[in-house]
Amino acid sequence: MKKIVCAALAAVCGFVFSAVFPSHSQAQNKRLLLQLGWVVGGYHAGFFVAKEKGFYASKGLDVTITRGFGSGDTAKVVATGKAQFGEANLPTSIISTGKGAPVTIVGVLAGKAPESFLSFEEKGIRKPKDVEGKSFAEASGAAIMVTWPAFAKLAGIDINKVTHIPVEAAAKPAVFFSGQVDWVAGFRPGFDESVILHARKEGKKLVFVRWEDYGWKVYGTGLITHPDLIKRDPKMVADFVGATMAGYAYAIEHPEEALGITLKDNPELQREPSYLSLLFILDGLLTKGAREHGLGYMEPERMAFQVKLMSDLLKFAPPKGVYTNRFIQKKPFTVPPKLAADLAGLP
């Protein structure tokens, strides 16, 4: 009888102990959903590396990665709490917050403006003013049609001297390569990859006039979450951001392996455009701010530029608290010579 009582007491004590002090795996088994901005591309390699290499798991995070349907939808999904984290275009995220769907940007991935004027060498477009007297193809509802007048004003371009040819988004590359227009709006990562590879096959030389080089201090894609999640569980947010940036740091030091991991998890992707896509995001990550403060760091002046730009364009009050650098950590990383050469050779 005493043995039975002792056994029962031991069982009860064991239950209480495990309930109050759960095991390491029990305590840290947090399931998270990350929604991307669009379909998977090579530039998402850091997420898949973080998953494959156990960077998320080491923080007790079980992360599911799902494709998105545009940055606006991803911001909405995060703002409504259906996903804990999102990868989305930062200007779109600012607009989301400004219009009452709260998200907070917790890290930038594409730290350089993604837009450019893209043309063939023979068109003679070498600086922004050169697009005057020329024509371009773009879908009327494309996001670039909202921001293009603002850049034109910044760069001193008279938009009345530029002809817009409306096309369906899917037809844009064909119209460009057939010579029906003089230029198209480039965007990296996402659009430029296929155009570059197509031009190589046809032996045509492309010219990119990057908006980044003419005062357009806008970021591309980055990480977003809900501000309430930051208040409720800042450690989890820090762990997710830290593990994600560790994935991208690994991709910087081992780009070919990172690409292989991404292709393994997403066999529908093609190697050549995916590697270009990866190069674009690594180029965007390796900013001066990232080297000084850590991967993902957002420069305050640049964020202020974007908040004012978006609020002025779309007529909403400039929102506060749209981003935070509190989860960015400075950790050492090395850029291999081959990657440095590949980045230097990007068009």
137-169, pLDDT tens digit by residue? 999 989 899 999 999 999 999 999 999 999 999
- First and final CA of the chain: distance in angstroms? 82
Mean pLDDT of 171-185: 97
Residues 99, 225: one domain?
Answer: yes
Residues 76, 209: one domain?
Answer: no
Mean pLDDT of 255-271: 98
Residues 133, 210: one domain?
Answer: yes
The per-residue pLDDT of the chain, averaged, comes to: 92
* Confidence grade of residue 28 (pLDDT, cut at 50, 70, 90): low
Say which residues have a Cβ less than 8 Å from residue 119's Cβ, sequence separation at least 6: 125, 182, 183, 184, 206, 207, 209
Residues 99, 200: one domain?
Answer: no
Residues 240, 293: one domain?
Answer: yes
Q: How many domains does the chain have?
A: 2
- Domain membership of residue 19 (yes or no) is no
Q: What is the pLDDT of residue 15?
A: 36
Residues 128, 240: one domain?
Answer: no
- Domain membership of residue 176 (yes or no) is yes
Give the least confident one: 22-36, 43-57, 100-114, 211-225: 22-36
- Domain membership of residue 255 (yes or no) is yes
Residues 92, 226: one domain?
Answer: yes
* Confidence grade of residue 11 (pLDDT, cut at 50, 70, 90): very low
Mean pLDDT of 96-115: 96
Write down which residue in 160, 194, 214 finishes a domain: 214
CA 174 to chain centre: 26
* Confidence grade of residue 102 (pLDDT, cut at 50, 70, 90): very high
Q: Are 85 and 78 in contact (CB under 8 A)?
A: yes
Q: What is the pLDDT of residue 29?
A: 75
Residue 64 pLDDT greater than 70, yes or no: yes
d(CA 91, CA 298): 13
Q: What is the phi/psi pair of residue 266, to 5°? A: -135, 75
b/e for 302-334, b at 16 or more Cβ within 10 A?
bbebbbebbbeeeeeeebeebbbbebbeeeebe
Residues 227, 332: one domain?
Answer: yes
Domain that holds residue 291: 28-111+219-344
Q: What is the pLDDT of residue 262?
A: 98
Query: Whole-prediction pTM value?
Result: 0.90
- Domain membership of residue 48 (yes or no) is yes
- Domain membership of residue 229 (yes or no) is yes
Residue 294 pLDDT greater than 80, yes or no: yes
Write down which residue in 174, 195, 214 finishes a domain: 214
Residues 203, 291: one domain?
Answer: no
Could you identify the residue written with the tokens 């569980």? 233
Q: What is the pLDDT of residue 134?
A: 98
- Domain membership of residue 166 (yes or no) is yes
Share of the chain above pLDDT 70, in %: 92
Residue 12 pLDDT greater than 60, yes or no: no
Secondary structure class of 80 (helix, strand, coil): coil
Q: Are 158 and 128 in contact (CB under 8 A)?
A: no
Residues 175, 322: one domain?
Answer: no
Residues 155, 107: one domain?
Answer: no
The CATH number assigned to the domain holding 163 equals 3.40.190.10
Q: Are 183 and 131 in contact (CB under 8 A)?
A: yes
Q: What is the pLDDT of residue 255?
A: 98
- Domain membership of residue 120 (yes or no) is yes
Secondary structure class of 281 (helix, strand, coil): helix
Residues 314, 338: one domain?
Answer: yes
DSSP states of 290-340: HHHH-TT---HHHHHHHHHHHHHHHT-PPPS--B--TT---------HHHH
- Domain membership of residue 204 (yes or no) is yes
Write down which residue in 199, 214, 229 finishes a domain: 214
Mean pLDDT of 27-43: 90
The candidate with the shortest Cα–Cα distance to 86, out of 102, 103, 100, is 103
Residue 1 pLDDT greater than 50, yes or no: no
Q: What is the phi/psi pair of residue 127, to 5°? A: -145, 165
